[in-house]
Structure 1
Amino acid sequence: MTNTKGVTMLVERNTNNNNSTNKIHRPKFGAFLHSEPSLFHTTNNDDDQGRISSASAASPRTYFGDSSSSNNASPNYMLSPLNQQTSSPLNKSPWLMPSSEAINLFQYHHSHRHDNNYNDSYFPENGLIGSLAREEGHIYSLAVSGDMLYTGTDSKNIRVWKELKDYTGFKSSSGLVKSIVISEGNIFTGHQDGKIRVWKISSKNSRNHKRIGSLPTFKDYVKSSMNPKNYVEVRRRRNTVKVKHFDAVSSLSLDQEEGLLYSGSWDKTLKVWRVTDFKCMESIIAHDDAVNAVVAAFQTYVFTGSADGTVKMWRRDTDGKGKKTKHVLERILLKQENAVTALTVNDSSTIIYCGSSDGLVNFWEHQQKNNLTHGGVLKGHKLAVLCLAAAGNLVFSGSADKNVCVWRRDERGAHICLSVLTGHTGPVKCIAVEEHEEEEDDRDDQRWIVYTGSLDKSVKVWRVSEHAPELRLMQGWNSPIAPGLNYSSPGTINVSNNSNRRQLQK
């Protein structure tokens, strides 16, 4: 068992209410505009596979709302899972189990969790439940629906998992699967070649998935192509119909109440689709560079993050009948040199989180109407943040440094790093979270099932609690962890001492 001294997690929180521009000196981040997995794995660079603009050493950053900055680099806490001693007491931990045992426990949990005599004492309290792997390709996207887990890879396959087992799969003729969202039985997949496919589960056999359409529809495309005003110039001497993405679809987000699907693309556009008939309602040239992330939130808003370093907030206006939809730029939340690589929203606490290629996570608090205040910066990663997910009081950030940080927001609005999920041998590209449901539970905290997908071709399944002391006890230590030390083991949760785990800078 290894330990690392002097490791701290930093959380910056703002107290200045005036807008300002701060200069932060950060190392240059390489421009991977069209990097392929084969190129990625022939080098020793674990950068993002998305569209990333190069950043200068002097990196100006502007926050709209409260401002925050620091000249401290993100802490280097790369705890290697390879330097473990066989004598580690963590080897006896109940969640470092053979995969067959993990599958049996997972099946037992899903089958009996609503029984009156259900007992989950053998189910790991916190930690790694199991790993899913197929030699099919690098994992780029995840989505959870009921007891089904969907994974998208660069092999063009969408794999379906059930109870930690390979259940079924289906293949698309489009490029690698960069995004997956699910709405009322329809599975939407965004692809590298600019296509959005729509799939439906067979009512007779849940193992069968049928493609029922593509966005835009053929009818919509032909109708738009008849009007010269619907053409846009995409490259020199080349035009295309604006209802169609001509570059990779990097992100998808659903507004379930309004029945709208949002798609962001490396072609710099944000497109709005009506879910009922797959009609393109609107196409917006949203940024000056590739759109890497899109998320719908707060009922009438959608947020976009781009390789141009900006986060934009758009307001949706409708005619009341749902026939016409128009999005207006409300404000720009962030301007910086580093690419914005991920966005997520915590609907319960009305907070939006933004991950960047510099390893930082910015967040804004939605207080009233369109008033968003910059809340601070979470520092926990050495390399680019590639994905984000929020659930309850927790937010999860996955990075090119192969780790996942678990952050908890307390009642005062401050964020602390509860733990670090380690074990992936490649950049963590996607995260999905679902509530750990239990019929009767006398615990005072919430637990979650967390799925992390990586370019190491695996998906890891974790159970995580919001209660920090239990994260420490589950490692088998009866005495408090020594100040300033982190303990790690392959595929485990690293937890540092409360008093030394982070610093709150005001």
Structure 2
Amino acid sequence: MGNGRKLMHFLRVDPAAAVSALSSPRSFSSNSCFSDDDGYSSSSFQGSASSSPSRSYSPPKSPWARLPGLGADDASSDDATATGLIASLVKEGGKVYSLAAAGDVLYTGTDSETVRVWRDRRELAGFRTGSGLVKAIVVAADGRIFTGHQDGKVRVWRADGEAGGYPAVVHRRVGSLPPLGDLLVSSVNPSSYVLSPRGGGGRGRGRQRRAVWLRHSDAVSSLSLDEGAGMLYSASWDRTFKAWRVSDYRCLESVPAHDDAVNTVAAAGFGGLVLTGSADGTVKVWRREIAAGGDRTRHVLERVLREGGDGAVTSIAACPVARAVYVGSSDGLVTCWRWGLDDVDDGEPRLACVLAGHGTGVLCLAVSGHVVVSGSADGTLCVWRRDEDEDERAGHARLAVLAGHTGPVKCVAVAADDDCYDADGERRFVVYSGSLDGSVKVWRLSEERALELPPAVEATTAPFMAALRESEAWMPRPRTAQLPSPVQAWVPEMKGVAAA
């Protein structure tokens, strides 16, 4: 798939989406030198507790109140019931490419070699990674923080509890993947070298070099943690994904997965399945198998869930309880696949529905319980609720379209707001979104009531797919001259994220 074709998926603009946005408030090759990332290293700085970030905005009567870990204890009950946009954080120094919410702390990764740590609308601390763009962040249950980087490495951090205070403001690097010792041992073994794309990921198919299989030879695009299996998965533009054992950071397997850059990887959380999505337009399902002896793991291709040709796959999110997987792509659609929908083919996935809520490419997805959130290059987020019927078949109701970012939404997370209910006793949830405009926004919504009335049809069940693809609803929308494109100013950035 050519660069022009990839980019065009992101530059097709929906005039309606542009009006909504206006009306509301790939690749460096990894360093060939071995670094000394292993061992303990402090790279933290502490934010001022008495001063706010460079720019901080919170709408009137909408402070962060009773949010999961981001709440103010002195908030009034009226503020605690607010919905919609409740806070926006902007810190000079970089576009936001990744974020992760863990307990009462929010981590954000930028292109300025920094991971920032937020709490109570303030920058609590941060740590400098020294590696450029931070493309992925996941936080383990034991507090370890895994970050994926443009230089092809995965680094491991831990908050230093001995420094005192809560939460800890000092973060130390405690390792890197692969560990330096493993990398040095493999470098002297000729059989450890494989052919890998040179400096261009999937775009440089004719250019290859020999590299140690333990290490990604291009940017790490995505991370996924399977706590139950004790595994961390990393996807890369070098067209592979790797499986790491989190107990000792050992690389158990490197899988040549796709013909182009691997943009996303997700552990399904059921059936030992792992899914990968690529710029070649395919989604593949891999099954984890334990080799004899129990010390080796291999992943076997089970099926190709989505064939190429309909645009690059940019994000995948799974809901283990519902045995559902959501796939976002550069054509602006989110497809939902379900496993075990009937008694005949318990292990066979079925296309459950297609969510059409964006005019340009979907860049990120997050799932929590019945809530699904997608972020797009058009600067908006669509929030959906999955509704189960008696046959366990899911329909989706759109709860909101969140407009407020002035650049593409690159990362999103959802957290249940278990301790905060509205006047009718309805449970609410919180959405965190990070954008290339440099801001992180926090939204609160009700799981039962839509923030605004959705259009009549936004979710399409599988039997109508063929008819819809032939209808005007599936045709490219013409660009409106009177309306400026919401991504026009971000064309240089979109060139960088078209494959990620």
Q: CA deviation at 1:352?
A: 0.3
Q: Does structure 2 retain, via aligned residues, the 8 Å contact 1:435–1:447?
A: yes
**1:354 alignment partner in structure 2:** 327
The answer to whether residue 258 in structure 2 is matched with residue 287 in structure 1 is: yes
Q: 1:125: how far off?
A: 3.3
Q: Which amino acid in structure 1 is aligned with residue 18 of structure 2?
A: M
Please give the residue correspondences for 1:136-151 in structure 2 after superposition, counting only pairs within 5 Å.
136-151=93-108
Secondary structure in structure 2 of the residue aligned to 1:281: strand
SS in structure 2 at match of 1:223: helix
Contact 1:75 1:379 in 2 (8 A): no
Long gaps (5+) in structure 1: 1-27, 33-44, 49-56, 58-72, 86-95, 472-494
2:154 is matched with 196
Residues 176 and 191 in structure 1, CA contact (< 8 A), matched pair in contact too = yes
Deviations 1:158-184 (A, max 9, x none): 000012211000101112000000111
Q: Is the 8 A contact 1:407 1:416 kept in 2?
A: yes
Quote the sequence identity (%): 47
Q: How far 1:225 moved relative to its partner? A: 2.2
Q: Is the 8 A contact 1:362 1:377 kept in 2?
A: yes
| 1:1-80 to 2 correspondences below 5 Å | 30-31=5-6, 47=10, 76-80=16-20
* Partner Cα distance (2:442, 2:88) in 1: 6
Indicate whether 1:377 and 2:339 are aligned.
Answer: no
1:396/1:320 Cα in 2 relative to 1: closer, same or farther (>3 Å)?
farther
> Hey, what's the Cα distance between the residues in 2 that align with 1:390 and 1:208?
30
In 2: Cα distance, 1:99 partner to 1:108 partner: 21
Whether 1:388 aligns to 2:365 is yes
Aligned with 1:224: secondary structure?
A: helix
- 1:467-496 deviation per Cα after TM superposition (whole angstroms, max 9, x unaligned): 125x3xxxxxxxxxxxxxxxxxxxxxxx22
More relative contact order in 1 or in 2 (CA 8 Å, sep 6+)? 1
Kept in 1: contact 2:68–2:416 (CA 8 A):
no
2:71 alignment partner, one of 110, 118, 121: 110
- Counterpart of 2:87, as a letter, is G
Name the structure with the higher helix share: 2
Offset at 1:502? Answer: 3.8
The match for 2:278 among 306, 309, 313 is 306
Q: Distance in 1 between matches of 2:293 and 2:285?
A: 23
Equivalent residue runs for 1:205-354 within 5 Å = 205=163, 206-234=168-196, 235=198, 236=207, 238-297=209-268, 298-319=270-291, 322-337=294-309, 338-354=311-327
Query: Is the Cα contact below 8 Å between 1:99 and 1:130 reproduced in 2?
Result: no
* 3-state SS, counterpart of residue 263 of structure 1: strand
Partner of 1:435: 416
SS in structure 1 opposite 2:252?
Answer: strand
Match of 2:77, SS state, is coil
Q: Which ranges in structure 2 are unaligned for 5 or more consecutive residues?
A: 26-56, 199-206, 465-500
1:169 equivalent in structure 2: 126
CA distance in 1, matches of 2:215, 2:225: 18
Cα 1:425–1:46 shift into 2, 3 Å: farther
Q: CA deviation at 1:83?
A: 4.4
Q: In structure 2, what is the Cα distance between the partners aligned to 1:294 and 1:213?
A: 22
What CA distance in whole angstroms lies between the structure 1 residues aligned with 2:24 and 2:332? 26
Q: Answer whether contact 1:314 1:328 (CA < 8 A) is retained.
A: yes
Match of 2:52 in 1: none
The 2-side partners of 1:124 and 1:444 are apart by 11
1:407 aligns with 2:379: no
Q: Number of aligned residue pairs: give it.
A: 405
1:47 to partner: Cα distance? 3.9
Aligned alpha-carbon RMSD (Å)? 2.9
Q: Which residue of 2 aligns with 1:37?
A: none
TM-aligned CA distance change 1:81 to 1:440, over 3 Å: closer
